[in-house]
Amino acid sequence: MVESLSPHNRYNLIIDTENEDKFRQWYNERGGVVCWENLEIGGSAATEVFTPLHDSNGNENLTAPNWRYGRPSLVNRDSLRVQDFRVVEKFRGRIVKKYWGYDLLPASENKAKRLVEKLPPITGELASSRWTLEYEYGNVFAQIEIGYEITREFDLTE
């Protein structure tokens, strides 16, 4: 069954530092990582999901994790990059609900851009911003982080 899996076609597949240990465990103990494509026409936020190639008993695990995922492909570990984000500053931003989800209001987006532009350049690090939704007492807002992205190659031995 593994022979029928196509290789994952993206070269630089970025994973967060929080997921690095899980991917390392899946390569070392579970035979590899399988990428599942989101096939939902409606456009969910999650485009790809990853699972180990084998279950905890050593059997192949090629059952889709959810009804909306299909087209499994085997992830080549050479294509993996690990991204860390070093936060320099945080602030709460305002958001607006759009038909595809949430987006930052222009004032919050402009403030984030200004703060990123003020960051001094550091060799090998990219100044950028990212945001996540936060919920508090029925209100929805964006937690915006300004900082540096550091991308490195994935290493199985760490």
Which residue has better confidence, 8 or 83?
A: 83
Domain boundaries, the chain: 2-75, 81-153
Tell me the DSSP string of 69-119.
EEEEEEPPGGGEEEEEEEEEEEEEE-EEEETTEEEE-HHHHHHHHHHHHHS
pLDDT bucket at 82, cuts 50 / 70 / 90: confident
Residue 5 has pLDDT above 60, yes or no: no
> Over the stretch 83-115, which tens digit does the pLDDT of each residue have?
888 888 999 998 888 887 788 889 999 999 999
133-141 CB contacts, 8 Å cutoff, 24+ apart: 133/95, 133/102, 134/92, 140/95, 140/102, 141/92, 141/93, 141/94, 141/95
Residue 69 has pLDDT above 60, yes or no: yes
27-46 mean pLDDT: 77
Backbone angle region of 137, left / alpha / beta, with phi > 0 → left and psi within -120 to 50 → alpha: left
* Residue 4 pLDDT: 55
pLDDT bucket at 46, cuts 50 / 70 / 90: low
